[in-house]
């Protein structure tokens, strides 16, 4: 695939991610913070997000397995996940977190378990998509292209 085709594919893919609600305006903000002095900023922050989210998801699963569920602790974890997903623009993950917190407040274990499943799903989707986006970006750079296009 030549550079122009790659670039078109990249733009189309990125547009679709916004269109489908996987990413929001905050992701654009992140990209605007990247420059020649900080060329890997977006990848760095997103990688931190991946690590942190995986840790939180594991903590959540563990907390929901307990005999006596500590809803305060669960809420604290979800609050963290909501915050970081919001900060990188992972809109669909953030939305599930909002519902998750409501179930925590109601101390509704069924609701919480359902949300955990949903948030895991949305997280996994956005992770795959962002990785694909970064891969396309890398291909463009390798083919001699540059950013912003």
Partner 1 sequence: MLSCGGGSGGCSKDMAVELGDEPHVLAVDDNLIDRKLVERLLKNSSCKVTTAENALRALDYLGLGNDTLEGTVSEVNMIITDYCMPGMTGYELLKKIKESSVLKEVPVVIMSSENIPTRISQCLEEGAKMFMLKPLKQSDVKQLTWHLMKCRN
Contact with partner 1 (CB under 8 A) among 6, 74, 78, 88? 88
Q: Is 22 in the site for partner 1 (CB under 8 A)?
A: no
Q: Is 102 in the site for partner 1 (CB under 8 A)?
A: no
Residues 58-77 that bind partner 1 (CB under 8 A): 76
Please identify, using beta-carbon distances, which residue of 9 and 86 lies nearer to partner 1: 86
Shortest Å, Cβ 31 to partner 1? 11
- Here the contacts of 70-79 (C-beta below 8 Å, separation 24 or greater) are 71/104, 71/105, 71/107, 71/112, 74/104, 74/112, 75/101, 75/104, 75/105, 78/104
Q: Could you tell me where the DSSP H helices lie in the chain?
A: 3-19, 25-32, 41-65, 71-88, 91-106, 109-142
Shortest Å, Cβ 86 to partner 1? 5
Shortest Å, Cβ 133 to partner 1? 18
What is the C-alpha separation between 72 and 126, in angstroms, rounded?
A: 27
- Site residues (CB under 8 A) for partner 1? 26, 29-30, 32-33, 38, 41, 44-45, 48-49, 52, 76, 79-80, 82-84, 86-89
């Amino acid at each position: 695939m030549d550079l122009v085709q790659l670039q078109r594919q990249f733009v189309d893919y990125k547009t679709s991610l916004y269109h489908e609600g996987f990413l929001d305006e905050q992701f654009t903000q992140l990209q605007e913070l990247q420059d020649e002095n900080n060329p890997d900023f977006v990848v760095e922050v997103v990688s931190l997000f991946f690590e942190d989210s995986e840790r939180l998801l594991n903590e959540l699963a563990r907390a929901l397995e307990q005999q006596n569920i500590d809803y305060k602790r669960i809420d604290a974890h979800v609050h963290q996940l909501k915050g970081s997903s919001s900060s990188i623009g992972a809109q669909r993950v953030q939305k599930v977190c909002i519902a998750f917190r409501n179930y925590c407040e109601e101390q509704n274990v069924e609701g919480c378990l359902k949300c955990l499943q949903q948030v895991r799903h949305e997280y996994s989707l956005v992770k795959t998509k962002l990785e694909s986006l970064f891969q396309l970006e890398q291909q463009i750079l390798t083919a001699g292209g540059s950013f912003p296009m």
